[in-house]
Every structure is written in structure tokens, then in C-alpha cells.
């Protein structure tokens, strides 16, 4: 498939069966696959040995800018060689996945690209935990925010105080390391300590865990159960439905 084109594709949130059919077909058609840390190993194993696959996931402790620069250069190098490149990302490439930045880079250098949406963990993890982000009786609005912003910013663009009263449901991606600040910000905005909170660790995967609590208790629970990333935080009344709608497993709920 020599077309000098880059496909920026979402692989889904963890469960390998959640990748789109279009994305799955590209696994065996492109010349090069550049894949991230959160792409399912089962999907990576599906890539034929005749296709070059390169891990470009950011390692802990390494600067994001350095990592992204390397990824950009790899996309450009292989595309200029006349190869088709599958840039495979966990979740959806345009929801805190830096897919927009990569598309801008490719456009700047005259490289054709295509963006293939993926299922974001922001919606998939709550769904696998039995938490509908919207519900006619509980929630008519949702905000998806990141807990990990660009390190080059001098200040945060996420106004937690305003969000506390602006929407019914808040979903936080990459927020475990800053969960204390997130809780404090929401409380400062007037959100009650009894507001329901769920942490969904390794959402959609076989070892998914759901930690339930509220703004007053969730910090202690996160420490007690040694929660690690990847994890999605959901705040709002819809969390109360998890006890009734959880369908994947009750074993991972604490």
C-alpha cells in the first residue's frame, strides 16, 4: 500500500474489539505502523511481520516535546519515502490525543493524511462501568477535561471552579496524578462533598476496576486501592447508576 499518506487512527480504549473496521483493515495494509503505549497488545500482535511496526509511546519521565518531535519526524520520513503510515493511537486521536497537532505538522510539510476516529476512553470506560454520561433524569450536559495539560503552559486552561456549577457530568482523563487538585478545585466551586465520583481503572479491559465514592471520600480510596493510570474519573449524579447498570463484572468494583 505505497501511497505516501499518513492515517491518524484511533485504536479505541483498551478492548481490542472496539477498534473501527476501517482501522482494523489498515493494520495489514499500511507499510509502517507507529503505535502508542495504550494501544492493545492484541492489536499490535495482529500486525503482519512484513509490516514495520515502531513503538512511539511516551515513557515515564521523558519530556512530551521530545517524544512528539520524534514521532513527527518518523511520520514525515516514511511518508517521504513513499510509504503509507498508520499512526495508531489509544482512544480517539482528537480527544486529548495530539492528533490535531500531528495533522497540522503533516499539512505544514505537504503530506496527505486522513483522520480515522476511535472510541474514546472518556465514553467507553464509563459505559463498561455502567455509567451513562447523559440521562434524562440525571444529566443533560457533559464536560470532558484533561488532568495533564501541556507542560509549557504557564497556567491551566481548565476552570474547575466554573465547571463545578456549569455541567451535570464531568469526565477527567489523565487525572489520577492530580486528583487532589481536581477535588479541591471542584469543592472551591461549590460542589458538595456528597457528589458521586467514580474512578475507572483500566477501563474496558479484563482487569478493569471501578472505585466508587464521593468528593469527600475518593482521595482516601484512591490511595487505599493504589489506583494507577490509565484511569478515567467521572463526577456527577450519573455515577449512582453504576450499581444498577454495571454489566461487565461486579468483581472489580470497590
pLDDT of residue 245: 93
pLDDT of residue 157: 75
pLDDT of residue 158: 87
Does a structural domain hold residue 142? yes
Handedness of CA 237, 243, 249, 252 (dihedral sign): positive
Does a structural domain hold residue 140? yes
Rounded to two decimals, the pTM is: 0.91
Instruction: Give the whole-angstrom CA distance, residue 209 versus residue 238.
Output: 18
Which of 95, 116, 137 is where one domain is finished?
Answer: 116
Q: Which residues of the chain fall below pLDDT 50?
A: 61, 153
pLDDT of residue 63: 56
Residue 100 has which C-alpha cell?
490535531
Instruction: Give the whole-angstrom CA distance, residue 88 versus residue 99.
Output: 10
pLDDT of residue 251: 52
Residues 25 and 141 in one domain: no
pLDDT of residue 249: 64
Residue numbers of the domain that contains 234: 121-245
pLDDT of residue 65: 53
C-alpha closest to that of 131 among 16, 221, 210: 210
The C-alpha cell 465514592 sits at 213
Instruction: Give the whole-angstrom CA distance, residue 47 versus residue 25.
Output: 10
The C-alpha cell 497556567 sits at 155
- Cα distances from 64 to residues 38, 58, 84, 120, 131, in angstroms, run 15, 7, 25, 21, 32
| DSSP code string of 131-168 | --S-BTTTBS-EEEEESS--TT-SS-S--HHHHHHH-S
Residues 53 and 70 in one domain: yes
Residues 41 and 98 in one domain: yes
Does a structural domain hold residue 253? no
Instruction: Give the whole-angstrom CA distance, residue 235 versus residue 192.
Output: 11
Amino acid at each position: 500500500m505505497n501511497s505516501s499518506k499518513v492515517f491518524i487512527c484511533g485504536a479505541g480504549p483498551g478492548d481490542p474489539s472496539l477498534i473501527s473496521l476501517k482501522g482494523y483493515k489498515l493494520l495489514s495494509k499500511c507499510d509502517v505502523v507507529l503505535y502508542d503505549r495504550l494501544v492493545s497488545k492484541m492489536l499490535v500482535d495482529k500486525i503482519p511481520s512484513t509490516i514495520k511496526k515502531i513503538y512511539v509511546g511516551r515513557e515515564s519521565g521523558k519530556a512530551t516535546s521530545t517524544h512528539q518531535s520524534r514521532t513527527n519526524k518518523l511520520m514525515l520520513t516514511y511518508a517521504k519515502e513513499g510509504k503509507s503510515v498508520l499512526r495508531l493511537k489509544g482512544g480517539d486521536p482528537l480527544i486529548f490525543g495530539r492528533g490535531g497537532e500531528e495533522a497540522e505538522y503533516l499539512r505544514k510539510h505537504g503530506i496527505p493524511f486522513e483522520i480515522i476516529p476511535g472510541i474514546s476512553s472518556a465514553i467507553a470506560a464509563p459505559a463498561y462501568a455502567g455509567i451513562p454520561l447523559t440521562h434524562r433524569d440525571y444529566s443533560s450536559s457533559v464536560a470532558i477535561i484533561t488532568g495533564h495539560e501541556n507542560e509549557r503552559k504557564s497556567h491551566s486552561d481548565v476552570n474547575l471552579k466554573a465547571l463545578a456549577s456549569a455541567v451535570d457530568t464531568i469526565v477527567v482523563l489523565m487525572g489520577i496524578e492530580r486528583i487532589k487538585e481536581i477535588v479541591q478545585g471542584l469543592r472551591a466551586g461549590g460542589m458538595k462533598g456528597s457528589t458521586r465520583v467514580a474512578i475507572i481503572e483500566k477501563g474496558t479491559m479484563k482487569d478493569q476496576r471501578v472505585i466508587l465514592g464521593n468528593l469527600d471520600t475518593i482521595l482516601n480510596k484512591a490511595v487505599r486501592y493504589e489506583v494507577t493510570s490509565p484511569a478515567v474519573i467521572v463526577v456527577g449524579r450519573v455515577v449512582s447508576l453504576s450499581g444498577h447498570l454495571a454489566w461487565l463484572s461486579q468483581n472489580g468494583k470497590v
